[in-house]
Structure 1
Amino acid sequence: MCIPEVSVAQAADRTELIDTLVLGFAADPIARWVLPETHTYLTCMGAFFDGFGGRAFNHQSAFVANSGQGVALWLPPDVEPDEEAMDAALENHIAPELGKDFAMMMKQMGHYHPDEPHWYLPVIAADPQYFGCGLGGELMKHALRRVDEDRLPAYLESSNPRNISLYERHGFEVVGEIQVGKSPVMTPMIRAAR
């Protein structure tokens, strides 16, 4: 049994924590739709996640549970993912027949982002050997205290339907559905300012 303890992640642990995210998303429907081959997934996804949420390390908004068992990368208002790094991570690795659909999915994700200042959660995951320990819930509680101090809304996209109930328990509401071609469903969710 593990007792979740959450703290701000240190930049020196960035590579190790990105590895935790890669493990945590190994069976994620969207991640594996984009990169279905194991070797390609393991080779590319760390760089993709670093581009997607890595700027959290520069803003004291990368949170870690139990020295790396779980990780959440939150981007504060006016901080965007590094799209160039994300594109470079997948370049020449995503199947050509998925390229247009994935690009359209990313574009649709942008349509759901609130226009007002908000906190954004690009990625949250736990090492699979610690699933069920409450790490995701503790990571959410910790980060949302900071979001609430700012009295701002929070936004995320759930790439796995299993996680929607976790987000709903923390006040997020489904605001749409993104599905392109034969992709799995991505679920945008917003939590109103408190």
Structure 2
Amino acid sequence: MGVVVRTAGAGDRELLVRLLDEAFQTDPVSCWVFPADEHRRTTHPMLMAAFTDLVLAEGRVDVTEDGTACALWLSVPGDDHGGDSAADDSALDDSARDGAAESDGPARLREAVDPDNERVELIGRLTADIHPSGPAHAYLWMIAVAPEHQGEGLGTALMASVLDRCDRERLPAYLEASNARSRKLYERLGFALAGSPLDLPDGPRMWPMWREPQG
């Protein structure tokens, strides 16, 4: 039987946070953000909760019907503006406000999750720096599969419906791979390295990856 995928809602928040926490507890980037094991066990769920709340409010979360995997997506607008001069001025004002809010986001996240941990803020700023500008695209913020179900094809199934829509609508997609295994999965789905990898200070490597619409 195929994997049944549905759109998550606010009532799924606890499930999503637990799933993200379990899937990423030993991820290289999570271990870099929270190097101490005990501190990571207690604080990492708070970071996953913040991510969940953000995407539930502003994006889309897909989850398998059995609750074993989820994918968090955001829609990123293009950086071009059309219209007359007055409209352009208004759009630029909105863009400036959005940019200021985005630049404050990592600092607010750090304050809410782990104020004494500068890496909570730094990871947000570094990934924002490598995020490509250009056309509107779908951004895979995170994808998580319960550890006991990894290798069963759930990640591929979760991404398939969104990538199929991207192909139909001629919409690119973007993500950052946080480990070599996930990078290989994304390459099989049509993603390619976008620019140089990000080497976290004294930490692991992340790969920005871009997928042009296919078919």
TM-score when normalising by structure 2: 0.76
Q: 1:56 to 1:147 in 2, by over 3 A?
A: farther
Measured after TM superposition, the shift of residue 142 of structure 1 is 2.0
129, 137, 146: which one pairs with 1:127? Answer: 146
Measured after TM superposition, the shift of residue 152 of structure 1 is 1.7
Question: Which residue of structure 2 lines up, in the alignment, with residue 6 of structure 1?
Answer: 5
Structure 1: 5+ residue stretches without partners = none
Residue identity over aligned pairs, in percent, reads 33
The answer on 1:189 being equivalent to 2:209 is yes
Question: Which residue of structure 1 lines up, in the alignment, with residue 176 of structure 2?
Answer: 157
Q: Which runs of 4+ in 1 moved over 6 A?
A: none
Question: Which residue of structure 1 lines up, in the alignment, with residue 37 of structure 2?
Answer: 38
3-state SS, counterpart of residue 205 of structure 2? coil
Alignment of 1:57-136 (within 5 A): 57-58=56-57, 61-78=60-77, 83=106, 86-87=109-110, 88-92=112-116, 94=117, 99=118, 103=122, 105-115=123-133, 116-136=135-155
Q: 1:102 to 1:89 in 2, by over 3 A?
A: closer
Letter in 1 for 2:130: Y
Distance 1:20 1:183 in 2: 24
Indicate if the aligned counterparts of 1:75 and 1:121 stay in contact, CA closer than 8 A. Answer: yes
Give per-residue Cα distances to partners, 1:92-121, cap 9 Å, x unaligned: 2x3xxxx36961x53332232221221111
Indicate if the aligned counterparts of 2:61 and 2:71 stay in contact, CA closer than 8 A. Answer: yes
Question: Which residue of structure 2 lines up, in the alignment, with residue 50 of structure 1?
Answer: 49
Distance 1:152 1:159 in 2: 23
3-state SS, counterpart of residue 7 of structure 1? strand
- Of the structure 1 ranges 175-184 and 109-118, higher mean CA displacement relative to structure 2 is found in 109-118
- Of the structure 1 ranges 111-120 and 64-73, higher mean CA displacement relative to structure 2 is found in 111-120
- Counting matched residue pairs gives 187
Indicate if the aligned counterparts of 1:3 and 1:133 stay in contact, CA closer than 8 A. Answer: no
Indicate if the aligned counterparts of 2:193 and 2:207 stay in contact, CA closer than 8 A. Answer: yes
Letter in 2 for 1:64: V
TM-score when normalising by structure 1: 0.83
Q: Which has the higher contact order (CA 8 A, sep 6+)?
A: 1
